[in-house]
Structure 1
Amino acid sequence: MRFGIRQFELTLMHRMRDLNAAKVEDALTEMGVSRAQLRAAHTQWTRMAHSPRGPKGLAGMRRVLGPPSYEGVRPAGSLICEVARWRLPSWPELEFEVLAGPGGEVWNQWFVRPGDGEGVVLGFEELVPWRCVVADVGASFAGAVQGEGGAPQHWVAEFVHEGRKYRARFVYGLYQRLDKNLENL
């Protein structure tokens, strides 16, 4: 079976199940996909990623996703990294961005807003799973602090709203859920 965009989306959803299993189940139902197919896509992706023969890094992403909708460069300290973005059918308002180092190795991959990738200002009630990205929380809540989450491809943004502390949780930069009323952030 050829690994393409649909299987890649399932691979992303496999990791998203860590934080938002109900949303993933809804998406699988809409797509007409079983949990077994989700696991099979993840297994195939893992096999491809660790195969000594297949293309790696940005070349591997292009092989799976086709030509990016955007390509450019971005400084990262004293280095210049390649930027490539793809639109994925399950998240039509966002783009999946890959930052690659000088040798094509992937440094980061996550969802961003199209265009310059800057976040949009949202109201608290507009924090809706699978519709917001890390940059949105940073743009929307002054003093938001971003950091790595507890698993690969997890990210957090901690902020205060109306005197209460919150932790927004993301997978591949895509908002999954909000932990509320935290005492010690």
Structure 2
Amino acid sequence: MAFGVREFELTLMHRMRDVNAEKVEETLDRIGATRAELREAHAHWTRLTHAPRAPKGAGALRRALGPPPHRGHRPAGSLTCDVLRWTLPTWPGLAYEALVGPGGELWNQWFVRPSGPVATDFAGLAPWACVVADVVASFPGAVQIDGPAPQHWTVDFCHGGSSHRARFVYGLLQRLDPAP
């Protein structure tokens, strides 16, 4: 099995399935993929990440996705990181961003809105339509919290007198829950 954009998207969906299985199933049907393909793409990516001679970090992303259409730099404290972005067909209007440290190590990878955060109201918080920055920009006082697993984030915020927890995988909104 070659490993390209489709397989990479399936790999992302494998992790998203933990939080929003219904959306993943709906998307698999829409793109004509099976659960077996989803599992095989994840297993293949896992084998690649542990193979001694396979590229690591941003090199693995480049191998799967090709050269990034966007390259830039961003200060991170006293260091500067490289910013690499790819567009993926399943998530139009968003970009998959990798932040790469000075030594080539992958610092972060997640979905972003290339034009910057978009303010939305509570009704606009739809799964796979918002990224972390959108929620933080839309609800003053929102607090980002590390999620319970790798590549998971949560953002707690208040709206309408209630506390809410937005759950993200790879920076992409998966669902809203009442905040504990």
2:143 maps to 145
Is 1:77 matched up with 2:74? no
**Length-normalised TM-score, structure 2:** 0.98
Mapping for residues 51-66 of structure 1, pairs under 5 Å: 51-66=51-66
**CA shift digits 1:8-66 (9 cap, x unpaired):** 00000000001000000000011111111100000000000111101111122111101
Q: Which digits, 9 at most, give the CA deviation of each residue in 1:63-101, with x for residues without a partner?
A: 110111210111111111110000000001100000011
Corresponding letter in the other structure for 1:57: G
Q: Which residue of structure 2 aligns with residue 67 of structure 1? A: 67
Q: Secondary structure of 1:165's match?
A: strand
Partners of 2:153 and 2:120 in 1: CA distance: 19
1:153 offset after TM fit, Å? Answer: 0.5
Unaligned runs of 5+ in 2: none
Aligned CA-pair RMSD: 0.8
How many residues in Structure 1 have an aligned counterpart in Structure 2? 180
What are the residue-to-residue correspondences of 1:74-113 with 2, within 5 Å?
A: 74-113=74-113
Q: Measure, in 2, the Cα distance between the counterparts of 1:103 and 1:10.
A: 29
| Code of the aligned partner of 1:169 | R
In 2, the alpha carbon distance for the partners of 1:172 and 1:164 equals: 26
Matched with 2:159 is 161
In structure 2, the residue corresponding to 1:19 is in which secondary structure? coil
Following superposition, the deviation at residue 2 of structure 1 comes to: 1.1
Residue type of the alignment partner of 2:61 = M
Give 3-state SS (helix, strand or coil) of 1:93's partner.
coil
> Which ranges of 4 or more aligned residues in structure 1 deviate by more than 2 Å?
none
1:127 shift after superposition: 0.3
- Between the two proteins, what is the percent identity of the paired residues? 63
TM-score with structure 1 setting the length: 0.95
Structure 2 residue aligned with 1:176: 174
Query: Counterpart in 1 of 2:50?
Result: 50
Mapped to 2, the partners of 1:5 and 1:104 lie a distance apart of: 22
Structure 1 distance, partners of 2:161, 2:122, is 13
For the residue of structure 2 that corresponds to 1:143, the secondary structure is coil
SS state at 2:157 partner:
strand
Structure 1 unaligned blocks of 5 or more: none
1:129 and 2:150 equivalent?
A: no
| C-alpha distance after superposition, 1:138-183 (max 9, x if no partner) | 0100000001110110000000001100000000000000002x3x
